[in-house]
Amino acid sequence: MSDILSSEVEKQAKKLGLENLVEVYDAIKFRNNPPEQDAIYLFGQTKDNESSVFERAVMLFEHEVSDKILIINAEKANGFPGYAEWHERLGKRMPGQNIYPVPIENPKAVNTLSESVELIKYATSKGHYALGIVAAQFHMLRAFMTAASEAIRQNPGIKLHPFCGTELPWDEHVAHSQGTLYGTRRKLVEEELIRINKYQNDGTSSKKPSIKPVKEILEYLKSY
């Protein structure tokens, strides 16, 4: 994770009164990930940000961190180019047979939460218990916290290991979040923190918040 990302997370968390999110960020930033993973999952990104996860995936594959790269088997929707396009393009950089689809119940409803739900379900079915996850740098904290929340719910035995996507220009204007949110990647750090806070507090009588409290996620991280 870059110095710019660290600086922005700390600055924006302080401005928003969400300093506890810095605790989670620091906990994943300073983790020593195992040299080998059962699989590596790439969180869906818009075309503006996909090169970040592609580059990291190729690096991890070439360094033999894992020979399995996972992508959600979704259609082109919500700003995500779709599994078929990602498989074709990433397959030009690495063997296509090492890229695997993760089934999703509704291929048109791809977002960070639906990806996380299906990822943990898939990992459980395949016996993947050391699971690397890759997201664009500004998206990494929310992606990790959402996936960790699902691991806690579905299968706490799955241990998630964050691998940030490669750094892209922070002051470039890009599309994010179902392709409907626009701003610089620097500004998107703030938007991501706002969303984390929202999704930690959006429970109703019939629905629990999609992201677990900081305390539970930190306890999960301390378990491995």
| Enclosing H/E stretch for 8 | helix 3-16
DSSP E strand stretches across the chain = 39-42, 69-72, 99-102, 130-135, 159-164, 173-176, 181-184
Query: Is residue 188 pLDDT above 90, yes or no?
Result: yes
Tens of pLDDT, residue by residue over 22-70, are 999 999 999 889 999 999 999 999 999 999 999 999 999 999 999 999 9
**8-state DSSP, 94:** S
pLDDT digits (tens, 9 = 90+) for 158-170: 999 999 999 999 9
Shortest CA distance to 143 belongs to which of 11, 53, 62? 53
Domain count, the chain: 1
**pLDDT for 204:** 54
Domain holding 105, by residue range, is 3-222
* pTM, rounded to two decimals: 0.96
Whether 179 has a pLDDT exceeding 70, the answer reads no
First to last CA, the chain: 20
C-alpha span between 224 and 1 (Å, rounded): 20
For residue 91, what are its two tokens?
Answer: 């397959």
**How far is CA 139 from each of CA 89, 96, 133, rounded to the nearest angstrom?**
21, 26, 11
pLDDT per position as a tens digit, 126-144: 999 999 999 999 999 999 9
